[in-house]
Amino acid sequence: MTYLLQQFLNALQVGSIYALIALGYTLVYGILTMINFAHGDLFMIGAFCCFLSVAFLGLPFLPTLLLSMCGVALLGVLIERFAYRPLRQAPRVSAIITALGVGLFLENFTLALSPYPQQIPPLLDNRMWTLFGVSLSSLQIFIIVLSLLLMFLLDLLVRRTMVGMAMRAISWDKTVAPLMGVPVNAVISLTFAVGTGLGGAAGVLYGLAYPVIDPYMGVMVGWKAFISAVVGGIGNIRGAMIGGYILGAVEIMVVAFFPSTYRDFVAFVLLLVLLIFRPQGILGKPQQQKV
């Protein structure tokens, strides 16, 4: 029982990070129906911002988090402005290729600065407790709570504010929204800022939990977060959160009860099966064919 609880906690931590990154994919898809494949690498940039802020500026946690989020958000907005916006009317494939290219650029740019893995110095005091035989670390709880808080804030933003309403309007119909006075480009930029900013926050939290970072760290995590978003129903915000936790739980539980070599194999077979029965994802709406 304690074993199961411990593994459950592990799953929550991994799932929180997948969910935060998955939100970035889903927000952008929701508003542009485009998959921003550079998002995993923006997440990596977030971790490197955290490293620079801690190692060179010596900032404490909160300024580091804000700085990394703003830095990555700014980068996200610039990428949208200069790489994606000119292609908005182009075939969808061109936009996807551009996104992949931007991702590769970010990886190799970081690689050119330093190919060495870097260690993020400890930012927070890590305390450990044992509760009914389950080891709790303050870091783990902090990561889970902060991720949930960020997701809650995003949910508020999208559902309860004017900006959120504008985002939903564009997502609903991109041609009619501007006729109703919605400033499309500004809202799209803002959506990019929010989505990539969350990716940056995920990078910081990831860097706290796994403090050895390298330029390729965003590739696999990015793919897994993308899959989380698809499983939850891409374009749906609550779906992305659920998808992240599901993928985290499946991965950890496969390791817990099967030989760990089967982890990715079993996890992805389960996801394939899920998609066969619900191709639109858990919370996604079935796509209507336009004639």
Partner 1 sequence: MKRYLLLLVGVVAVLVSGACSKGGSSAIKVGVIAELTGDMPAVGESCKKAAQLAVKQANDAGGIEVAGKKFPLELFIEDNAGKADQSAAAAQKLITQQKVHAIVGPNATRYALPASEIAESSKVVLITPWSTNPKTTLDARSNAPKKHVFRACFIDPFQGRVLAKFALETLRARKAAVLFDVASEYNKGIAEIFRETFEQTGGKIVAFETYTTNDKDFSGQMTKIKNAAPDVIFLPNYYSEIPLQIQQAKRLGITVPFVGSDSWGSQELLKLCGDACEGYYFSTNYAADAATPAATKFIEDFKGAYGSVPDDVAALTYDSFGLLAQALKTAKQLERGAIRDALARIPLYEGVTGNMQFREGSGDPVKSAVIVKITGGKFKYFATANP
Query: What is the spatial distance between Cα 149 and Cα 241, in angstroms, rounded to a whole number?
Result: 12
Query: Residue 206 CB, nearest distance to partner 1 (Å)?
Result: 8
Query: Residue 243 CB, nearest distance to partner 1 (Å)?
Result: 17
Give the residue with the Cβ less far from partner 1, 137 or 280.
Answer: 137
Residues 6+ apart with CB under 8 A from 234: 25, 26, 29, 30, 35, 240, 281, 284
Give the residue with the Cβ less far from partner 1, 173 or 264.
Answer: 264
Give the residue with the Cβ less far from partner 1, 172 or 257.
Answer: 257
Q: Which two tokens stand for residue 180?
A: 């109703």
Query: Residue 82 CB, nearest distance to partner 1 (Å)?
Result: 27
User: Other C-beta atoms within 10 Å of 167: how many?
Assistant: 24
User: Other C-beta atoms within 10 Å of 32: how many?
Assistant: 21
Maximal C-alpha separation, the chain? 60
Query: What is the spatial distance between Cα 233 and Cα 287, in angstroms, rounded to a whole number?
Result: 11
Binding site for partner 1 (CB under 8 A): 3, 6-7, 10-11, 13-14, 111, 115-117, 119, 122, 126, 128, 130, 135, 137, 139-140, 206, 209-212, 214, 216-217, 219-221, 251-252, 255-256, 259-261, 263-264
Query: 75-91 b/e with 16+ CB inside 10 Å = b?
Result: bbbebbeebbeebeeee
Give the residue with the Cβ less far from partner 1, 78 or 113.
Answer: 113
Q: Are strands 134-137 and 128-131 parallel, antiparallel or unpaired?
A: antiparallel
Give the residue with the Cβ less far from partner 1, 8 or 61.
Answer: 8
Query: Residue 87 CB, nearest distance to partner 1 (Å)?
Result: 29
Give the residue with the Cβ less far from partner 1, 45 or 190.
Answer: 45
Query: Residue 290 CB, nearest distance to partner 1 (Å)?
Result: 40
Q: DSSP code of 288?
A: P
Query: Residue 2 CB, nearest distance to partner 1 (Å)?
Result: 9
User: Other C-beta atoms within 10 Å of 268: how many?
Assistant: 15
